[in-house]
Amino acid sequence: MEKTAPVDPGLGSPSPELDVGERPADALPKDDPNQIARRQLLGRMSVALGAGGGLALAVPMVGFVIGPMWRKVPHEWRAVGKIDSFRLGETVLVKFEDSSPLEWAGVTAKTAAWLRRVGKDEFVAFCINCAHLGCPVRWLPDAELFMCPCHGGVYYADGTVAAGPPQHPLTRYRVRIQGDDVELRTDPIPLA
């Protein structure tokens, strides 16, 4: 058999002499068991790394979703003012500390409610959060409506839905009178 010196196309000079039947070392046949073993190893490593990365992302997400179900939230009564400081028929914003503040909550532990005196010793309180996606609603005294600025939710004075995307009325807080104080029973902020 005759040996030929193939020409390297990049340089135009002959490359080292190879037998026509010989192949360079990096051009192993596809049925070489060593090449298949490397491919399988790399494939399995890729799958394992992908699964590990997916698990690393999934565990915190699942914890975020189901975590609140495991955490017991206390229901406490918070004083929001003296009875005489509220006028009959007037709706006012009252601020108080959330029932489930975490040590690092800071300012976010503060929340509010819309409180209206409807009788001598009778009050009604609405959650400040819209029943649609939780944006804070405003009270418009001239129109006697609660308005959500985020998506146009509108509620009547009794908290029922007047217009917009909300499917439920505003959440109500339980109210009681203790001595001269008006107190709200704090509950976790309702999720839409």
Answer whether residue 191 is part of any domain. no
Query: Which of 71, 104, 133 is the endpoint of a domain?
Result: 71
Q: Does 84 share its domain with 160?
A: yes
For residue 109, what pLDDT band results from cuts at 50, 70 and 90?
confident
Range of the domain at 15: 1-71
Query: Which of 71, 106, 125 is the endpoint of a domain?
Result: 71
Q: Does 16 share its domain with 107?
A: no
Answer whether residue 173 is part of any domain. yes
Alpha-carbon span 154 to 143, nearest angstrom? 11
Q: Does 83 share its domain with 168?
A: yes
Q: pTM for the whole thing?
A: 0.60
Q: Does 54 share its domain with 10?
A: yes
Residue 184, CA distances (Å) to 11, 124, 178, 188 in order: 87, 10, 10, 12
Q: Does 4 share its domain with 51?
A: yes
Query: Which of 22, 49, 71 is the endpoint of a domain?
Result: 71
* The 3-state secondary structure of 12-56, one letter per residue: CCECCCECCCCCCCCCCCCCCHHHHHHHHHHHHHHHHHHHHHHHH
Alpha-carbon span 133 to 166, nearest angstrom? 8
Q: Does 85 share its domain with 136?
A: yes
- Read off the pLDDT of residues 116-168 as tens digits, 9 standing for 90 and up: 998 888 999 998 988 888 888 999 999 999 999 888 899 999 999 999 898 88
Half-sphere exposure (CA, 13 Å, Cβ side) for 66?
Answer: 5
pLDDT value at 192 more than 50? no
Asked if 89 contacts 186 with a C-beta cutoff of 8 angstroms, the reply is no
Q: Does 160 share its domain with 104?
A: yes
Q: Does 3 share its domain with 85?
A: no
**DSSP states of 105-117:** -GGGGEEEEEEEE
Answer whether residue 190 is part of any domain. no
Q: Does 64 share its domain with 129?
A: no
Instruction: Count up the domains in the chain and report the number.
Output: 2
- Read off the pLDDT of residues 16-47 as tens digits, 9 standing for 90 and up: 555 555 555 555 556 666 666 888 888 899 99
